[in-house]
Amino acid sequence: MSSFNFSQWPPALSDAQLESLTHHAATYALSHGLTYLPPIPTQPPVPSSAIHAPISLLPAPVPRSLFERAQSLQSVYNTLYARIATNDEFLDREMGAEVGAGKADEFVRTLWQGWKEIREEGIAQPLHLGLFRSDYLLHTGGEDGGLGLKQVEFNTISSSFGPLSERAAAMHRYLHALTDYYGVSPDLRPENFPPNNTTSGLANGLAEAHKAYNAKGNASILFVVQPNERNVFDQRWLEYELLEKHSIRVVRQTFDELASSATLNPESRVLQITLPTPPGSSSSPSPIEISTIYFRAGYVPTDFPTPAHYTTRFLLERSRAIKCPTIPLQLAGGKKVQEALSQPGAVEKFFGGPEAEHAKELRETWMRMWALDAPNTPLSLPAEADHKSGEPLGTALARANAMSLVLKPQREGGGNNIYKSDIPQFLETLSPQDRQAWIAMELIVPPAGVGGYLVRAGGMNGGAGALPEKTVRSETISELGIFGWALFGKEKVVEEQGNVGWLMRTKGVESNEGGVAAGFSVLDSVVLVDG
């Protein structure tokens, strides 16, 4: 059992102390780029204002041993997903359009079919780059009654908030240095604030891919971004790091812009970007060769409103540039893959012989999962399935155990899952084919009674003026993300990799979802405690 009493967190602060901390936190965030663009329908070409990101005033407690375990596991996860992304047979089976999740999910199917065509043409670039994030919750539901670490998901595309998480951790260290947090807790000591150098770590991964591309002349890294992106500063910090520390320039483009700016040499497969001619210029800019493509868009169907957007995505995939991620690495992050790995003997196929201990370590972080279309399952669950006619056992088990489950589709970005009491009715809407795109996962049970002080920025009230800062004490759940990167290919499964930092997001217990950009969570950091 953990010796730390989570139900006594956060320590009490007076109204005056909260007001002072909120003022200092907000001004620090704005001064140090812990920011978002304001929530307006269309962002202007040149930003003229910013608001601080949603933040917590006190860091979230995490037992030191579990934090260190999450960090140590990241290199194992990096290797696992590198091996999955280079295993065509496994991905075809689990995510393909013929027998896998792509059979029921149009988005997955379109990506997989495009990748299959490119494979048949011949892959121009054998290397993949992954900037990963493995997300965990503390779990109290173990058989021994102790506190454990359970994985929520593994992110292989647009693993965001690395630079902003580093600045959130720095903000908490600043608040402690300034106020000593008014002496309200003996756990709030400098040695309990772990370092977080995510920005340099992620930039190092991109820089290594750029170097491996081995351009003969100048080349740049392409960031593929969403239009009207509010979380732009999280991306800009990586851009600045690449230029200042590695002398690598970044080009930012949306899929719409790339439709006209991107060209592919049919023989060399070199990708070039031609930027618009600046106003008043008499000559057009020279095309820019792209060494590495970092996708901060392309993970949701709404990023592809027309077939032309998929055509652009596949053009990028056909290039000699190193992709972060490639389509197979993006598919490897699917929830169906997460579920498939949890089945008996599955992950062991990726870690055999002397690496068998790695498979055991990973399994200890997983909750029970199964496919809704599973005809049978070896799971032992609290409620037995009451079959409807023709219904697979996986769906019947999900209905019977709904209050302890979450249903997940093949989606990223938050707001896509189905929880608890909403599950039975939702199951009635699924056709037999639709079930193939969903998995059921037992809910992780975080420590009860833990809370936090959450701050959301004031914004514009429909043109009526600025809303005030709002600090709320709320019962909370905190999700820990560990960042890593890997540069790899089929011939040499992992060229290089790194464990580069962490992210803490905190939300109110009333919210099922966890996305900061989607408005569910705030950016937090970690205070290490005994346990």
Q: Residue positions in the annotated binding site for ATP?
A: 153, 335, 408-417, 419, 441-444, 479, 507, 513
CB-based contacts of 152, cutoff 8 Å, min separation 6: 135, 136, 137, 444, 479, 514
**Cα angle 307-312-316, degrees, rounded to a multiple of 5:** 145
Name the segment(s) of the chain with CATH classification 3.30.1490.50: 368-442
Q: Which residue has the higher pLDDT, 517 or 213?
A: 213
Q: Please, what is the angle between helix 64-85 and helix 356-363, to 10°?
A: 120
Count the residues in the chain: 531
CB-based contacts of 438, cutoff 8 Å, min separation 6: 371, 372, 407, 408, 409, 430
Among 24-38, 79-93, 133-147, the minimum mean pLDDT is found in 133-147
**Residues labelled catalytic:** 133, 153, 155, 160, 335, 408, 412-413, 505
383 confidence band (pLDDT: 50, 70, 90): low
Rounded Cα gap, residues 173 and 24, in angstroms: 12
What CA–CA distances, in Å, run from 290 to 221, 251, 322, 392, 488? 6, 9, 9, 48, 19
Q: Residue positions in the annotated binding site for substrate?
A: 133, 157-160, 229-231, 235, 296-299, 505, 516-517
Residue 60 forms beta bridges with which residues? 526
pLDDT of residue 446: 95
Mean pLDDT over 100-120 rounds to 95
339 confidence band (pLDDT: 50, 70, 90): very high
DSSP string of 498-524, one letter each residue: EEEEEEEEEEETT-----TTTTS-EEE
Q: How far is CA 226 from the centre of its chain?
A: 16
Closest CA to 171 of 24, 311, 71: 24
Average pLDDT score over the chain: 91
Instruction: Look at residue 281 and tell me whether its pLDDT is greater than 80.
Output: no
Rounded Cα gap, residues 101 and 96, in angstroms: 6
260 confidence band (pLDDT: 50, 70, 90): very high
pLDDT of residue 40: 82
Closest CA to 318 of 261, 270, 252: 270
Dihedrals φ, ψ of 355, to 5°? -95, 5
Instruction: Look at residue 530 and tell me whether its pLDDT is greater than 60.
Output: yes
Mean pLDDT over 231-248 rounds to 97
For 125-182, write each residue's pLDDT tens digit.
999 999 999 999 999 977 666 899 999 999 999 999 999 999 999 999 999 999 999 9
Helix ranges (H only) for 285-406 are 307-318, 327-332, 335-342, 356-363, 393-400
Mean pLDDT over 31-42 rounds to 90
Rounded Cα gap, residues 447 and 470, in angstroms: 26
Q: Confirm or reject CATH 3.40.50.360 for domain 63-139+148-160+193-353+475-529, answering yes or no.
A: no
By DSSP bridging, strand 250-253 and strand 220-224 are parallel
Instruction: Look at residue 96 and tell me whether its pLDDT is greater than 90.
Output: yes
pLDDT of residue 468: 52
520 confidence band (pLDDT: 50, 70, 90): low
Q: Determine if residue 205 is left, alpha or beta; phi over 0 gives left, psi from -120 to 50 gives alpha, anything else beta.
A: alpha
Mean pLDDT over 233-246 rounds to 98
Instruction: Look at residue 460 and tell me whether its pLDDT is greater than 50.
Output: no
Q: Count CB neighbours of 306 within 10 A.
A: 11
pLDDT of residue 374: 86
Mean pLDDT over 464-472 rounds to 59
Q: Which residue has the tokens 């399952």?
A: 377
Mean pLDDT over 173-196 rounds to 97
H-helix or E-strand containing 133? strand 128-139
Dihedrals φ, ψ of 396, to 5°? -60, -40
H-helix or E-strand containing 252? strand 250-253
Instruction: Look at residue 459 and tell me whether its pLDDT is greater than 50.
Output: no
For 306-335, write each residue's pLDDT tens digit.
999 999 999 999 999 999 999 999 999 999
Mean pLDDT over 276-294 rounds to 85
Rounded Cα gap, residues 100 and 114, in angstroms: 15
Q: Residue positions in the annotated binding site?
A: 133, 153, 155, 157-160, 229-231, 235, 296-299, 335, 408-417, 419, 441-444, 479, 505, 507, 513, 516-517
pLDDT of residue 518: 45
pLDDT of residue 463: 36
456 confidence band (pLDDT: 50, 70, 90): confident
Torsion, Cα of 30, 35, 39, 44 (10° steps): 90
For 61-85, write each residue's pLDDT tens digit.
999 999 999 999 999 999 999 999 9
Instruction: Look at residue 525 and tell me whether its pLDDT is greater than 50.
Output: yes
Rounded Cα gap, residues 110 and 103, in angstroms: 10
Instruction: Look at residue 367 and tell me whether its pLDDT is greater than 90.
Output: yes
Rounded Cα gap, residues 479 and 505, in angstroms: 5
pLDDT of residue 472: 87
Among 42-56, 63-77, 247-261, the minimum mean pLDDT is found in 42-56
466 confidence band (pLDDT: 50, 70, 90): very low
267 confidence band (pLDDT: 50, 70, 90): very high
What is the pTM assigned to this prediction? 0.93
467 confidence band (pLDDT: 50, 70, 90): very low
For 473-485, write each residue's pLDDT tens digit.
999 999 999 999 9
Pull the structure tokens for residue 40.
Answer: 């307006």
Mean pLDDT over 392-421 rounds to 89
By DSSP bridging, strand 496-508 and strand 470-488 are antiparallel
Q: Which CATH superfamily hosts domain 368-442?
A: Glutathione synthase lid domain (3.30.1490.50)
For 481-516, write each residue's pLDDT tens digit.
999 999 999 876 666 777 789 999 999 887 655 455
| Rg of the chain (C-alpha set) | 23
What percent helix, strand, coil does the chain show, rounded to 5? 40, 20, 40
What CA–CA distances, in Å, run from 448 to 8, 147, 444, 509, 525? 10, 12, 12, 9, 19
Name the segment(s) of the chain with CATH classification 3.40.50.1760: 63-139+148-160+193-353+475-529
pLDDT of residue 144: 67
SS3 292: strand
